[in-house]
Structure 1
Amino acid sequence: MPATTNLVHSYRHLLRAGLRAVQFSKPSRYIIRDVLRKEFRDPRGVFEAEKARRTVWFLNAAAQSRGLEHKILKNLCRVHWERKQVEHAVPWRMKVIKMTDDKARKWTLTKRPADSIKGTEFEHYDRTIAMLNDSMGLCLR
């Protein structure tokens, strides 16, 4: 178990570097804050100081130039934002209202058929990020 001060310092370094990398833009800064909070509050999480240090280097490189690191970070933020929107969205088929009986004037929502792909949309993406983390020694999410 690392010392509490090491955790706090790593959290602050990652947050500062992440905010600089996204230039404090509104949707991205909240995504970076939320992801860091989630990861640092996870009781099953394992803190690795070397990975955190390399991730800070990666974020600093993303802040310095609009190269590959910046594009990767931009896409990470975009996918996290899209996932958050999908979780709170109501499927369009659920928005369609159908009248069942003219006399009773009862309205029901149409039921959406079971979707076999639901929940597996981001498997390939998650595996790609995991391989990137393993090959570069990073802790991106």
Structure 2
Amino acid sequence: MASPAAVLPVTAQEIVAAYRHLYRHSLRAVQFSKPSRFVIRDQLRAAFRDPKASAATFDRERVRRTIWFLKAATQEAGLESRILKNLVRVRWQREREQRYRTWKVLLQKEKQMTAKSPKLPHPINGTEYTHYDNTIAMLNDTMGLCLR
């Protein structure tokens, strides 16, 4: 049987409170370090502004478990803090790759790829983060978290 809290509709105040709790505990977990805090801020904004995510998909239990995870990452330099540090580092690297993809860089890469093997596309192109994304999705499913 579902708990009574899971049946109640989600209010806008509850969503804002979840955002603030997640943001506050995330900042504490990364100790307010400069590149990390901006990555976390951008990730949370994107997650809460996502048109696919609505009040219907909001899960109180996942938010609560994610806050527990962030508290554990704050308290001790253990597995949780290493996972969070790697999540932030990979997200920062992805954003950096996207930011510096000018048309000149893309044209140079395309020329290099066609010069090496003009007939076949490179097998890794576009799939660099597939395994990583699947691993994070499985971590979220097994632990009931909402990490990105």
Q: What TM-score does the superposition give when structure 1 sets the normalisation length?
A: 0.83
The residue type equivalent to 2:87 in the other structure is L
Q: Which runs of 5+ in 1 are unaligned?
A: 96-109
Structure 2 CA distance for aligned equivalents of residues 92 and 120 of structure 1: 16
Q: Is residue 23 from structure 1 mapped to residue 19 from structure 2 by the alignment?
A: no
5+ long unaligned stretches in structure 2: 1-8, 115-120
Partner of 2:40: 32
Aligned length: 127
Shift of 1:76: 0.1
Counterpart selection for 1:2 from 10, 29, 35: 10
Q: Structure 1 residues 93 and 42, CA, compared in 2 at 3 Å: closer, same or farther?
A: closer
Q: Secondary structure at the match of 1:139?
A: coil
Whether 1:94 aligns to 2:102 is no
Q: 2:69 aligns with which of 58, 62, 68?
A: 58
Return the alpha-carbon distance in structure 2 between the equivalents of residues 79 and 25 of structure 1. 15
Please report the RMSD computed on the Cα atoms of aligned residues, expressed in angstroms: 1.8
Alignment of 1:122-141 (within 5 A): 122-141=129-148
Partner-residue secondary structure (3-state), 2:111? coil
The percentage of aligned residue pairs carrying the same residue is 56
| Structure having the larger proportion of residues in strand | 1
Q: Which has the higher helix share?
A: 2
| Structure showing greater Rg | 1
